[in-house]
Homo-oligomer: A and B are copies of this chain.
Amino acid sequence: MHILNRQQILAAFDAEAITALLKQGFIAYSQRRVQQPPVQHFLFEQAAGDCCIKSAWLEGDELFVVKVSAGFYRNAERGLASNQGLVMAFSAQTGEPRALLQDEGWLTALRTALAGRIAAELCAPPHIQAIGMVGTGLQARLQLQCLKPVTDCREVWVWGRNEQALAAYRRDAEAEGFRVLTTQDAAELAAHCQLIVTTTPSREPILQAADIRPGTHITAVGADAPGKQELATDLVAKADALLVDALVQCADYGEIATAYRQTRLTSTPIIEMGALLAQGGRLRSEPQHITIADLTGLAIQDLQIAKGVLAAI
């Protein structure tokens, strides 16, 4: 069995090759060629932690994977990263363990950011004057990096609640070649940006319907469990078209879940990313449309990114 640590994994990481694998994975998922059992969840209340276990096999593949990813939100007090996790790959011919990727949660963060890139390719308006980033954490940094091959825009507005975190984000984004504007007012960000990515674990909507101008695309990656919501229900209901990674997950606990349950999306086109990729089209039919991509995260992404890393070592 190969055992790889974070450094070895990041050294073998090829964003272009893995983006292509992720697209194939989304397509296979939407074509029902992926065995992906329901996600297992743990809640560790006394430690402010949670954990989910995601598993997937693309039928016919040599490998299947089991991913354990945890978030322990007081780890910083101990000098540890909040995100923890690993990915295991097994032979689908014999059941033998083939690889242990001790990525410490990085593969989850990266495949989520690359899904944001794919969503932008499929949904963003043609002219982007500024990118809007809601949140100042690791995911907000990775999303920005992953958008660089998709757009020439090098101006970013970033929203956060904390001045220090905004200043730190500014330094990192400037090092990536961006002009950075910070704000604690999400409406101000929305007024300037045509491509917005929301990356927080918020349980209260941050962006309101009235904030968003025609011609805007929003990719929401924060809502990955019941109760999380970054976009107001009115905003979701107002969208002209919705992209989802998996309809079954998004309707259950994604960003669109509340609007879906309230039957406010019955006349909104909703398409799975894999279905749109297979068609070869784009989500947006009019420049003035408001579009939203709801990404809850799929085990097939974990399988594809693990395959990409293992192919490169």
Residues of A within 8 A of B (CB): 1, 3, 35, 37-38, 40-44, 46-47, 49, 51, 53, 55, 57, 60, 64, 66, 68, 70-72, 75, 78, 80, 84-86, 88, 90, 92-97, 100, 102
Contact = CB atoms under 8 A, between A and B. Distances in A.
B92 A64 contact: no
Contacts of A43: 35
B80 A94 contact: yes
A97 B83 CA distance: 12
23 contacts: A3-B3, A35-B42, A37-B41, A37-B53, A38-B40, A40-B40, A40-B55, A42-B55, A46-B60, A47-B92, A49-B92, A49-B93, A49-B94, A49-B95, A53-B55, A53-B66, A71-B95, A72-B95, A80-B94, A80-B96, A84-B94, A84-B97, A85-B95
Contacts of A49: 92-95
| Copies of chain A in the complex | 2
A38 B38 contact: yes
A38 to B, nearest CB: 6
Given A78-B94, A94-B75, A37 B47 contact: no
Contacts of A92: 44, 47, 49
Given A1-B102, A53-B55, A84-B95, A42 B64 contact: yes
